[in-house]
Amino acid sequence: MIDLRSDTVTTPDDRMRDAAQSAAVGDDVYREDPTVAELETTVADRLGTESALYFPSGTMANQVAVRVHTDRGQEVLADRKSHVVKYELGGLADLSGLQVRMLDTDRGAPTPEQVAAGFVETELHRPGTGLLCLENTHNARGGLAIDPERIAAAAEAAHDRDVPVHLDGARVFNAATALDVPVTELVDPVDTVMISLSKGLGAPVGSMVAGPESFVEDARRTRKLFGGGMRQAGIIAAPALRALENVADLEIDHEHARVLAAGLTAVDGFAVQEPETNIVLADVEGTGLDTETVLDRLADRDVLATAFGPTTIRFCTHRDVSRPDIDAVLERIDDAF
């Protein structure tokens, strides 16, 4: 089976398993786990923030960050296709009592003008804008890598109105790799960032929220409220530390995505968006089949991908697929269509 559903399907390699085996641990709710502490300082250093906090998932990390930034009843500005809006079960409303003002953006990041137009002043009849959420890479738009200038311009427009900015950077290292910029250039303009260690980097579990120390202390308390206080989490933090060493390999995933996209373009009925990172979106309307049928045909040939809309499927490359795997996928798809 060649599994291109997501870059979360990677399994921990021997280095990671060894690290888990020998990890020093303690009760992290009492802040006594040295491996979690090492992971948090390492990530903060890497991202150029004061502090960072380990979470079991990216969803919890985003939701806690949003909760800490906002007051109930406020509005959150976010791209219509952003993960916090589309894929977190309405958590902004459910968990934090927020209302989302969705923006139709080009490439997933609003322009300063869009931020200005979406901003709502707090007054008798209006809730006020409490947060701007950005996403990089932008998953639902095909793994687009948003450049530092766009991030900075959107963040500045928010800051001019005293609105803080949270970056959903689940794949921010993919963005930095694709743009060939230090990751700090993508993170510096925002107040807080979420990164996933369990996506392209290959950790078995975990995401981080990074930002100012006072924010992270508040987030630690809110993480507890949301049920995310963990005990001997060094067992999972140790492989997560090893995962940080895999950033340099992301370029290989991107190369595989380019090869895959180039091959898929030649398949009858497939319209492929040119990938910028490790996500390939293919519109299969031209096959005359619905996505489920296309995915079934692939699964019959031991290739897995994901439905990403009525006629769109997503392929995601990751460290557990090789170049021969990609070539095999293309041969099998060619055979199927």
Residue number with CB closer to ligand PLP (198 or 287): 198
The residues with which 211 forms a beta bridge, in sequence order, are: 51
For residue 287, the minimal CB distance to ligand PLP (Å) is: 27
Q: Which amino acid is at 28?
A: D
Residue number with CB closer to ligand PLP (189 or 204): 204
Tokens representing residue 295 in the block: 């995915």
Binding residues for ligand PLP (CB under 6 A)? 57-59, 62, 83, 135, 139, 168, 170, 196, 198, 207
> CA-to-CA distance for 132 and 149, rounded, in angstroms?
16
Residue number with CB closer to ligand PLP (119 or 147): 147
Residue number with CB closer to ligand PLP (83 or 150): 83
For residue 168, the minimal CB distance to ligand PLP (Å) is: 5
Q: For residue 241, give the nearest of 61, 6, 23, 10 by alpha carbon.
A: 23
For residue 137, the minimal CB distance to ligand PLP (Å) is: 7
| Residue 104 DSSP SS3 | coil
Count the neighbouring beta carbons within 10 Å of the beta carbon of residue 312: 18
> CA-to-CA distance for 37 and 34, rounded, in angstroms?
5
For residue 170, the minimal CB distance to ligand PLP (Å) is: 3
CB 227 within 8 A of CB 237: no
Residue number with CB closer to ligand PLP (244 or 328): 244
For residue 292, the minimal CB distance to ligand PLP (Å) is: 22
Residue with the CB atom nearest ligand PLP in the bound state: 58
For residue 233, the minimal CB distance to ligand PLP (Å) is: 15
Tokens representing residue 77 in the block: 């500005």
Count the neighbouring beta carbons within 10 Å of the beta carbon of residue 54: 28
Residue number with CB closer to ligand PLP (91 or 234): 91
Q: Which amino acid is at 29?
A: V
CB 222 within 8 A of CB 287: no
